[in-house]
Amino acid sequence: MRFSAVIVAGGSGRRAGGAKQWRSLAGKAVARWSVEACLWAGADDIILVIPAGDERLAEMALAGLSGWRAVAGGSERRDSVLQGLAALKCDPDAIVLIHDAARPLLSSRVISELLVASSEADGAVPALPIADTLKRIDSPGGDVATISRAGLWRAQTPQAFRRRVIEAAYAAWPADEVPTDEASVVERAGGHIVLTPGDPKLLKLTYPEDFEMVEALAGGARLTRTGLGFDAHRFGPGDGVWLCGLHIPHDQKLIGHSDADAGLHALTDAILGAIAEGDIGDHFPPSDPRWKGVDSAVFLKHAVQLVTSRGGRLLNVDLTLICEQPKIKPHREAMRERLAVLLGLPLGAVSVKATTTEAMGFTGRGEGLAAQAIVSVETPA
């Protein structure tokens, strides 16, 4: 499901000791964690609401990511949320997630449960049951009373609403009251809110010591995904083939709309597969004259860019070239080096192998050449 997101990163962070949204948490800025999670879960449009004057800090913190814009927030959280909502491009029925950047360890699982639940209610909120016994003291040094935790939940963010529902509810909210979350605004307007399973890792950075705890949990907030690619091209009259971005002298060439580099095509499809982004033909239709005779490195770099622009990174690739001729082995190291440059990977993460099919099938008869690739990608969870 598609959605938009407003991420409030506007706090001055008095309690957490400084502007926590730009602080590094396990190697990247606090605010970046949430933006990457939303991109990964399929956000169309992300508004990051920041303190006025922090634009440069936001650009540095989110360098390389696509699909986000920053707007300056107001003095109260409510004002910041309204500024963020006003900046969205989505239509009134679209679902908007409203999130606090101070909860960095947001997972796709939490988002997808919110999207499903909010499509059938006026809003959805991730919440956790309370395990501890609750005590109440009405005055300092006063008597301690135990209160029942039955029916009590801890609400987290993001919270999900249709855009028109949250905007109308805020319009009806009394100007002199400060809501503690968006769900309470919709509740007051008579809306029906549902709870979805929260995540204990989705902690809010409130006090300086929280950084250590969230940092310790951050390692589990990344996933490894794999993708598979296959391609084949036919031989025709010519004087060499393009393979893995190199021109290999041969008594034939490979026929195709682009440069017919089956190695780069298999790798491109494997990367697209790892991030569920369709296949090479979706991104570069053979019917489009722009791609005629083009260097297939363009396709591969595009796929890599799709991974990095939403906060993922390539871990390794393994490519098998299947043909009788030309002989691959003399070119294998040069191919690995070329691929390492195109993919931005160390040489040790780039494998090129070759095999024949023992004279069987289309590769065995020398009609064409095939390539098979597998890749691993690390992404937000």
What is the closest distance, in whole angstroms, from the C-beta atom of residue 231 to Mg ion in the complex? 4
What is the closest distance, in whole angstroms, from the C-beta atom of residue 268 to Mg ion in the complex? 9
* C-beta closer to Mg ion: residue 121 or 300: 300
122 touching Mg ion, by CB under 5 A: no
Retrieve residue 339's tokens. Answer: 């691929």
Which listed range, 173-181, 221-229, 231-239, 360-368, lies at the site for Mg ion (CB under 5 A)?
A: 231-239
* C-beta closer to Mg ion: residue 169 or 243: 243
What is the closest distance, in whole angstroms, from the C-beta atom of residue 266 to Mg ion in the complex? 8
Which listed range, 81-89, 205-213, 227-235, 286-294, lies at the site for Mg ion (CB under 5 A)?
A: 227-235
Identify each DSSP E strand in the chain by its residue range: 3-8, 24-25, 28-29, 43-50, 68-72, 95-100, 123-129, 134-137, 144-147, 153-155, 159-162, 193-197, 222-237, 240-243, 246-249, 252-255, 313-322, 350-355, 368-380
d(CA 381, CA 378): 9
* C-beta closer to Mg ion: residue 10 or 256: 256
Q: Looking at beta carbons, which residue is closest to Mg ion?
A: 265
Q: Confirm if 158 and 123 have CB atoms less than 8 A apart.
A: no
Determine the size of the site formed for Mg ion (CB under 5 A): 2
Q: Confirm if 229 and 270 have CB atoms less than 8 A apart.
A: yes
What is the closest distance, in whole angstroms, from the C-beta atom of residue 356 to Mg ion in the complex? 20
**Length in residues, the chain:** 381
Q: Confirm if 21 and 62 have CB atoms less than 8 A apart.
A: no
Q: Which of 293, 210, 284 is nearest to 30 (CA)?
A: 210
Q: Confirm if 259 and 293 have CB atoms less than 8 A apart.
A: yes
* C-beta closer to Mg ion: residue 197 or 286: 286
**Contact pattern for Mg ion over residues 63 through 82, marking x by CB under 5 A:** --------------------
End-to-end CA distance of the chain: 17
What is the closest distance, in whole angstroms, from the C-beta atom of residue 116 to Mg ion in the complex? 37
Among 99, 162, 265, 310, binds Mg ion (CB under 5 A): 265
Among 45, 231, 269, 277, binds Mg ion (CB under 5 A): 231
Q: Confirm if 334 and 340 have CB atoms less than 8 A apart.
A: no
Which listed range, 85-93, 131-139, 263-271, 368-376, lies at the site for Mg ion (CB under 5 A)?
A: 263-271
Q: Confirm if 264 and 298 have CB atoms less than 8 A apart.
A: no
Which residues bind to Mg ion, rule: CB under 5 A? Answer: 231, 265
